Amino acid sequence: MARWEPHTKERLARAALELYSEYGYERTTVAQIAARAGLTERTYFRHFRDKREVLFDGAHSLETTLSEAVAAAPGGASPRAALAAGLDAIGLAFQGAREQARTRQAVISAQQELQERELIKLASLTRVLAEALRLRGVEETRASLLAEAGCGVFKTAFVRWVGDERPRGGASAGEVALAALLREGLDTLGDALARD
């Protein structure tokens, strides 16, 4: 086997998620994660700082996806349309990854320290979204409000998506798309906030 291993990081992440799910986050060691992935602890620490990092490694790329999509919305798009474009991109980024997201969510829900880390990452995502809207010329307060609401739509849609238990025909047949729940959430919130 070649010394260079393809998908090393993904294998480590998958192994970690499996072990956290099977034995609990607290009881799993980095040595076990490396062994399950057929790699060494040293290799693990080349990719992740600690046991926790492996669960939040996707946060930065999600921020980039979101801000790039908001920036790429047509120049004449309304702030709401730019936000919707950002949410669409998030939906696309998670496509086909529901089982993984569900396992990760179960691990995080079982551990207060991880829930707190998740809140911090979401606050960072909100700041990135507000900044992306501001860069489009959206006034500061309006950008903050839309970013907070947009991240609320994401959180709510995500919980529905990973919790969706409808029977599935095949590998991912019948799986409700996160993108659809995000769009529906944005519409529902807009309607609910319309002045009486």
Interface residue with its own copies, options 19, 153, 162, 178 (CB under 8 A): 153
Contact 174, 167 (CB under 8 A): yes
* 171 lines the binding site for its own copies (CB under 8 A): no
* CB-CB contact of 79 with 142 (8 Å): yes
Query: What is the full DSSP assignment across 132-171?
Result: HHHHTT--HHHHHHHHHHHHHHHHHHHHHHHH-----SSS
Place of tokens 């900044």: 131
Between 101 and 145, CB nearer to its own copies: 145
The dihedral sign for the CA sequence 43, 47, 49, 55 = negative
CB of 64 to its own copies, least distance (A): 22
Residues 10-69 that bind its own copies (CB under 8 A): none
**Beta strand spans in the chain (E):** none
What number of other Cβ atoms are within 10 A of residue 105's Cβ? 16
The span from the first CA to the last CA of the chain, in angstroms, equals 67
**What residues numbered 112-141 form the site for its own copies, per CB under 8 A?**
116, 119-120, 123, 141
Name the minimum Å distance from CB 79 to its own copies.
6
Closer CB to its own copies, 36 or 117, in the complex: 117
Q: 40: which DSSP letter? A: -
Position 155 contacts its own copies (CB under 8 A) = yes
Provide the minimum distance between the beta carbon of 6 and its own copies in the complex, in angstroms, as a whole number.
Answer: 37
Nearest CB to its own copies, comparing residues 39 and 87: 87
Interface positions with its own copies (CB under 8 A): 78-81, 116, 119-120, 123, 141-142, 144-149, 151-153, 155-156, 159-160, 185-190, 192-196
